[in-house]
Structure 1
Amino acid sequence: MIRFSLRIPADLHERVTAQASADRRSVNSEILHLLEVALSSRVVDAGSPGGDPTSPASLHGKPDSSPA
C-alpha cells in the first residue's frame, strides 16, 4: 500500500470525519471508499448517453477555482 500526505480544507475534513463516523469507518477507510465509488461511477457514466468519464462531478478542482 502506498502512503502519502494529502492537504484538504478544514471544512472538507469535518465532512469526511462526520461521514466516516456515520458509516462506522476510519477516516482513511472512508476516503478509500469514496474514491472507489467515484472512480467506479466514471466507468458506468462512460457508457451512458452524455456521460463524460473525464469530469465526474465530485472530483472537480478546488472549490474556489471557478472563474469570478
Structure 2
Amino acid sequence: MIDEVRMTLRLPEDLRDRLRAHAKSERRSLNSELVYMLEVGLRASGVNTESPGGDSATSAPLRGKPGSSPT
C-alpha cells in the first residue's frame, strides 16, 4: 500500500473549477486527477517518480474513461 500524506492546497477558485471539470470529464476524482497530472508533469521533466519502495503513485490503474487503460 502506498503511504499517503494529507495536505492543504490553496488554489485560485477558477483554477480549482477548471481542474474539477477536467477531472469529471476524465471520470476521476479531483485528487486522482491532481496526482495523475503531477506524475505526468514530473515524468515529462525527467524527474524520477518512483517511490523508494518501487511503487509509483499511479502504478495502480486510475479510474478513467471506459475502455481506457493506463500506459
TM-score (norm 1): 0.62
Larger radius of gyration: 1
Shift of 1:29: 0.3
| TM-score normalised by the chain length of structure 2 | 0.59
Deviations 1:7-42 (A, max 9, x none): 000010011001000000000000000000100000
The runs of 5 or more residues in structure 2 that have no matched partner are 48-71
Q: How many residues align?
A: 44
C-alpha separation in 1, matches of 2:43 and 2:9: 21
Residue 10 (structure 2) pairs with residue 7 (structure 1):
yes
User: Does 2:28 align with 1:33?
Assistant: no
Identity of aligned residues (%): 45
